[in-house]
Amino acid sequence: DTIAFTTKTLTAEPLAGNPLHAWLYPLDEGFVNAVGLANPGLAAWISNDLPLLRVRGIYPIVSIAPDTRAEAQMMIHALLPHRENLLAVELNPGCPNTSASKRMFADPQFVIEIVDAAVEARGMRILPFILKLSAAHDFETIIAGTEKNVQAFELINSVPWKMIFGDAPSPL
């Protein structure tokens, strides 16, 4: 049997995220979260966490959030030596907590360029890609521009506060 799960999204460098008290806030409609993409960074995850999963026979889908073409290629190159221990790579341009997030939401071509860079880095090696998109993305344009290179799409990953509540201040 194979056990799989998707990791918390990883960035090229470690991120501390937001203070713990700001992570979750209940509303009548559900919850608002602002974890802030806290993560150890890809290199630390590969060194510390992946071996623990490997020993247990767990093959993760690794979620990454590159901010640039170069970062996408660097992250894919770092994962390639471990591809036999991974089910797939999830490219997550939908997190609002990265330095490129505003551009990712406003410019669908930029998201397509990030996917193209990851595909170039992967080359002909077998490593499936999942593209995780937010309600804030122009997902029709992005899907049309990436469907030849992406094996699956995950839609409406997150809904930014402003899309629902406009200019009302966030409780977080």
Both tokens of 155, joined, read 């839609």
pLDDT, residue 3, reads 60
Length of the chain counted residue by residue: 172
pLDDT at site 4: 67
Contact at 8 Å (CB) between 12 and 75? yes
76 contacts 106 by C-beta, under 8 angstroms: no
- Model-level pTM? 0.87
Q: Which residues of the chain fall short of a pLDDT of 50?
A: none
Query: How high is the pLDDT of residue 148?
Result: 94
Tell me what pLDDT residue 80 has.
Answer: 96
Tokens of 68: 């640039």
Return phi, psi of residue 35, to 5°. -65, -35
What pLDDT was estimated at residue 34? 73
- The Cα 91–Cα 32 span in angstroms is 23
Q: What is the pLDDT of residue 97?
A: 65
Helix, strand, coil shares of the chain, percent, nearest 5, are 40, 15, 45
| Contact indicator for 63, 95 with CB cutoff of 8 Å | no
Question: Which tokens in the block code for residue 98?
Answer: 């990265």
| Cα torsion through 20, 41, 155, 150, rounded to 10 | 180
